[in-house]
Structure 1
Amino acid sequence: MSFKDLQLNKPILRAVAEAGYDNPTLVQEKTIPLVLDKKNVIVSAQTGTGKTAAFALPILQLLFDKQDASKSGKKIKALIISPTRELAVQIEENFKTYCKYTNLRTTVVYGGTSIEPQKDVLKKGVDILIATPGRLLDLHKQDTVNLDYVDILVLDEADLMLDMGFIDDVKKIERLCTREKQILLFSATIPFKVEQLANTILNNPERVEVAPNSSTSKNVNQVLYYVPKRNKIELCLHLLRNTIKGSILIFRRTKFGVEKLEETLIKNGYKVESIHGDKSQNLRQEALQKFKDKEATILIATDVAARGIDIDNLDAVVNFDLPNVPETYVHRIGRTARAGNSGTSYSLCSADEKTYVATIQQLINMQLDVVDDHPYPLDPKAKKEIHKTPGKSKHKKGRKSEASKKKKKRWY
């Protein structure tokens, strides 16, 4: 099947062809006709399957006839809600690529940057708005955003949105739009919470499922190293020197962990950039751009960056810290081996993370390949490491023994 078979018009087909896409992916093939039919849709598909174009192209097609503004200016007709800033920026880039030969106007709004420039763009009028939930509601409170004309509402990465605690915001946004709108819900996995949300806001949705739920790409070679926690940095350096080559994305659980590892790798002569929640949006974008431009070969990130970052030709993903939510593992390693390329994921597991490996293997329904041949093996009997600060009493500060309580004279 080609994009022409999907009833898209010439200006959109021209932009798609210029972007270098010939044939739709499976998720696009199944979703685009349903969206053009104005159906409510729930799509379950992993990252890297071409989900953004699956809603962007039909939305542009549906709005094409309404693109020339009336005298009162352009109104927001399509609203795309995204959980993270990075993903929101990426979606807008995609829309800009595909609407090149139309008069449709798009913009993106997110927190962490000044609100005033965003207000200015909105006042001029846009057809398509991509937004993170918090900033959208701020702008609505300030009467800068009018959602009365929204025909199409897209909730992207719904499972992550709910994991991040945005459920009430999402419901509120849904109520602010018109009642007759079309809703498209995209999610990598459909856990119970997403199912519940879908039941409350979607009428008779069509379902599209691409690749079994929570499966991992066949093109990712997944390997596992058991290592004592204190030796993880040494093992990581050992792998970077001898095994892992190319452009590498390393995941750590905390911002502190990201900074510590970045410092060590820079000292060892690696070109490194990092992104985490404490960095301003500009710095995050800058770091990502340097990595994409190959000025840095390693990008270290927290899970905020796990979704929606589209980096072509990523050779490897390293789980320096294993995630405690197994779905997160699927998203992390989904950064590599995109669009038919192959890649490798390396997971470093300490004694206290063994339970995470078990839940991950259960979810992806496969055994990870364990590599024993490395300089820092973990003793199979090793227990979870508990760090004690020397010289501290095991008793809580200010706690009295029963005897001293009895001796104490009361004033009453």
Structure 2
Amino acid sequence: MKINLQEKGFESPLPLQKLIWSKIKGGLSMFCIAPKNAGKTTAIILSVIQKLNGQAFEEAPRALIFVKDKEAALDLETEFKTYTRGTDLRVYCAYEEHNIELQREDLYLGTDIVIATPKRLNKIFYLNGINLNKLQMFIVDDAEFLFRNSNFEEVSRTPESLEKCQYLIFSTKFDTRFERWKDSFMFNSQTILFK
């Protein structure tokens, strides 16, 4: 991964990344509130790779990342593939514009990291098309999108099916509706406000 970091021009962690990496590594659930270009996406990618030891394992995903739409999913997948070169980690995108039966089949064959839109992930889950029993990391990237349409409710359903899991929510602002998650599945979480 060091070579991949050098190729990306990544010389040392940004201040936000320095602040949160040890907390993520320690298993802390958190709301990370920081402006654009603070390094949130790279922090997500590197934290996931590190947590999964850069190695594929069995069939069920161990990291789930919610994003707002197909474009965001494909962009994040491209970034992941840059950093996971040289590892055997499998990254898979699930979004509405793709055939759901094909997605179920692909997921059945095995993946480590799923990047998904909330509606599609829930649909696949309720069709018994994804096993979340091995999930270690539940992440929402650019969480502002949660408060449009029914995304917040869709994402709130998933933790009902999970056992012990680390929750990481990345956003540019804290919304009071996040308090509901603090009261249900993120009660030991910390809020990091980075200016």
Report the TM-score, using the length of structure 1 for normalisation. 0.45
What secondary structure is seen at the aligned counterpart in 1 of 2:52? Answer: helix
| Structure-1 separation of matches of 2:172 and 2:9 | 25
**Alignment equivalent of 1:195, drawn from 176, 179, 194:** 179
Deviation at 1:47, TM superposition (A): 2.4
User: Quick one: which amino acid aligns to residue 162 of structure 1?
Assistant: F
Counterpart of 1:166 in structure 2 is 151
What secondary structure is seen at the aligned counterpart in 2 of 1:168? Answer: helix
Deviation at 1:192, TM superposition (A): 1.1
Residue 133 of structure 1 pairs with residue 118 of structure 2:
yes
| Structure-2 separation of matches of 1:63 and 1:163 | 31
Greater RCO, CA 8 A, separation 6+: 2
Change over 3 Å in CA distance of 1:187–1:199 after alignment to 2: farther
Q: 8 Å contact 1:15–1:98 — kept in the other structure?
A: yes
Deviation at 1:114, TM superposition (A): 2.1
Residue 54 of structure 1 pairs with residue 43 of structure 2:
yes
What secondary structure is seen at the aligned counterpart in 2 of 1:185? Answer: strand
Q: 8 Å contact 1:32–1:55 — kept in the other structure?
A: no
Q: 8 Å contact 1:159–1:194 — kept in the other structure?
A: no
Query: Percent of counterpart pairs with the same letter?
Result: 26
User: Quick one: which amino acid aligns to residue 196 of structure 1?
Assistant: R
Counterpart of 1:29 in structure 2 is 18
**Alignment equivalent of 2:189, drawn from 175, 184, 205:** 205
Residue 100 of structure 1 pairs with residue 85 of structure 2:
yes
**Alignment equivalent of 1:115, drawn from 86, 89, 100:** 100
Counterparts of residues 207-356 of structure 1 (less than 5 Å): 207-211=191-195
Deviations 1:326-349 (A, max 9, x none): xxxxxxxxxxxxxxxxxxxxxxxx
Change over 3 Å in CA distance of 1:97–1:106 after alignment to 2: same
| Structure-2 separation of matches of 1:210 and 1:82 | 21
Deviations 1:159-204 (A, max 9, x none): 3212332122111112122x21111011111021123333432132
| Structure-1 separation of matches of 2:121 and 2:10 | 32
What secondary structure is seen at the aligned counterpart in 1 of 2:65? Answer: strand
| Structure-2 separation of matches of 1:30 and 1:13 | 20
CA-atom RMSD in angstroms? 1.7
Counterpart of 2:136 in structure 1 is 151
Which 5+ residue runs of structure 2 have no aligned equivalent?
none
| Structure-1 separation of matches of 2:92 and 2:21 | 22
Change over 3 Å in CA distance of 1:164–1:187 after alignment to 2: farther
Which 5+ residue runs of structure 1 have no aligned equivalent?
1-11, 212-412
Bigger Cα Rg: 1
Counterpart of 2:68 in structure 1 is 83
Deviation at 1:94, TM superposition (A): 1.5
Q: 8 Å contact 2:56–2:112 — kept in the other structure?
A: no
Counterpart of 1:43 in structure 2 is 32
Residue 180 of structure 1 pairs with residue 164 of structure 2:
yes
Deviations 1:215-242 (A, max 9, x none): xxxxxxxxxxxxxxxxxxxxxxxxxxxx
User: Quick one: which amino acid aligns to residue 159 of structure 1?
Assistant: E
| Structure-1 separation of matches of 2:182 and 2:142 | 13
| Structure-1 separation of matches of 2:187 and 2:177 | 17
Deviation at 1:206, TM superposition (A): 2.5
Deviations 1:6-55 (A, max 9, x none): xxxxxx22211122221222222212211111111110012222211112
User: Quick one: which amino acid aligns to residue 158 of structure 1?
Assistant: A
Give the number of aligned pairs. Answer: 195
| Structure-2 separation of matches of 1:208 and 1:98 | 25
Q: 8 Å contact 2:49–2:84 — kept in the other structure?
A: yes
User: Quick one: which amino acid aligns to residue 36 of structure 1?
Assistant: K
Deviation at 1:68, TM superposition (A): 4.3
| Structure-2 separation of matches of 1:161 and 1:14 | 35
